[in-house]
Amino acid sequence: QVQLVESGGGLVQAGGSLRLSCAASGRTISTYHMGWFRQVPGKEREFVARISSSGSTTDYSESVKGRFTISRDNAKNTVYLQTNSLKPEDTAVYYCAASSTWSVNLFRYAYWGQGTQVTVSS
């Protein structure tokens, strides 16, 4: 089993940046595609970004494209989400997840972290 723990969330002003981390344990994540999702009260959890197991391919939702960057360090068993030019609309709990398939569908992700809160003030 894979355990995922997010960190790096916090309170930031609009236009600011945060680097979110997702530390994995239990087994290597080098064979998993990794994704970041976010959720706010009253809305469904939505796809934010994904990265292939090798790190060679990335994909982003249109709402964050150009502002967020997903990366991974398989040697450290860690995935990152660099969030720049943050907007109040980015306020959410951010989750990382692992999948054996290349997908933006949250149901394809078998392992999830507990989430880290990102709050962007206007």
pLDDT of residue 57: 98
pLDDT of residue 99: 98
pLDDT of residue 61: 98
- Torsional class of 67: left (φ above 0), alpha (ψ -120 to 50), beta (otherwise): alpha
CB-neighbour burial class of residue 66 (10 A; exposed 0-12, middle 13-18, buried 19+): exposed
Nearest to 72 by CA among 100, 35, 106: 35
pLDDT tens digits for range 71-89: 999 999 999 999 999 999 9
Calculate mean pLDDT across residues 2-15.
98
